[in-house]
Amino acid sequence: MAPVDTSVFGAGDMEDISRAGDLINGVAFSVLILFTMFGNLLIIATTLKSKNLRFRTHFYIASLSVANLLMAGVVMPLRVVSFLDKSTWFAKPQLCDTYGSFFVLFCTVTVYTLAFMSLDRYFSISRYKWYQKFLTNFRTCCFIVLCWSIAVLVTFSFAKFDNDSAKSIDCKLSKTYTTIYVYIFVSIEVLTPTSFMLILQWKVMKTAVGQTHRVDVRGREIKNLDYADFPSISKESTWSKVVVRITLSFVIFWIPRCIFLLLDNSNTEGVHEVADGLTEIMTYCFPASFALLLGYWSKEFKQEFANVLCPYSCYQKAKNMKKYRLGEPNAVKPSAMYKKHVKNFATS
């Protein structure tokens, strides 16, 4: 196939194509921002509202949602500015530094939180009784604060903020950090913990299968496993599967971007702008789809999402009531339901 002769396009045509591409990118990122904000606010609201979700592992989910919210509130809007308001972007090189440093921050928080959550699942299965006594809610919150503290330290201690206008033209991590730091960030702070999480998750699932097979259907005590704890262990195993899927989704959405950053940082020929855009959008699809994936994998979150988004329908279903329709005298009217059953509705 013969190559396309770009000489037929004038300067005005190329400028129009560039503007159209920036507009499409800006709209795409704006949609991702809306999905990220709505989904992660829903996760935080349900975690705070429902007593069923005030569990140690759910605290890590809330931490991930906070990181996703800040990603949608700080990093992604700056990317939209770089597409739609180039005059402001070029006039303020600090925007590139802010974009790069906070991208590193929230990526580090996500990785560390997933790593701690994998350790949490491992001990909940392999050391169940010790886990119930030692890993209290307070200590879990301390671990989350530790994750954020380490992430802030490794992110802003090595960032170089200056007024170099060249950053705005070619905004990359290598402009905010040194080349060595970019390699360390991708290989040690992202790829190594991710490999550790995958190995640990494999051990978790293997141990969970072994634990559940130790209990006979007649209730006999086998291999020093307390049968009274079996329902809780089953719940821990079910939630461990959810954590495995979250980890795998993180790998699918984030690892291509990390590989691209390594290749782009080494100035390898053939690294195209299209790969840069695709891997970046894939990265932001993880926080945007987090609530959707969580609701699909976890029955607890799915039910709580429904209670928050459709409280009246959930109340009718729980009370086995007929849906309200005009002209049916036996149907339950919404106004009457809220007046007569306000106490029950508040506790449901």
Token digits of residue 114:
């997933």
The residue with greater pLDDT, 268 or 151, is 151
User: Using 50, 70 and 90 to split pLDDT, how confident is the model at 15?
Assistant: low
Give the number of C-alpha atoms closer than 13 A to the C-alpha of residue 28, restricted to the C-beta side.
15
Helices 273-297 & 230-265 angle (0-180, nearest 10): 170
The residue with greater pLDDT, 39 or 164, is 39
User: Using 50, 70 and 90 to split pLDDT, how confident is the model at 306?
Assistant: confident
Residues 6 or more apart whose CB falls under 8 angstroms from that of 27 comprise: none
Q: What is the pLDDT of residue 144?
A: 93
Q: What is the pLDDT of residue 53?
A: 79
DSSP secondary structure string for all residues of 5-39: -GGGS-HHHHHHHHHHHHHHHHHHHHHHHHHHHHH
Token digits of residue 267:
């100035």
Q: What is the pLDDT of residue 148?
A: 94
| Mean pLDDT of all residues belonging to the chain | 77
Instruction: Check pLDDT > 60 for residue 279.
Output: yes
Q: What is the pLDDT of residue 239?
A: 81
Q: What is the pLDDT of residue 96?
A: 86
Q: Are 137 and 56 in contact (CB under 8 A)?
A: yes
- The pLDDT of 188-215, averaged and rounded, is 75
Q: Are 233 and 211 in contact (CB under 8 A)?
A: yes
Token digits of residue 118:
């994998």
Question: How is residue 56 annotated by DSSP?
Answer: H
C-alpha triplet 94, 178, 95: angle, nearest 5°: 10
Q: What is the pLDDT of residues 331-340, one digit of tens each?
A: 555 555 555 5
Burial class, 92, CB count within 10 angstroms (exposed 0-12 / middle 13-18 / buried 19+) = middle
Task: Tell me, yes or no, if the pTM score tops 0.95.
Answer: no
Element (H, E) at 218: none
Give the number of C-alpha atoms closer than 13 A to the C-alpha of residue 136, restricted to the C-beta side.
4
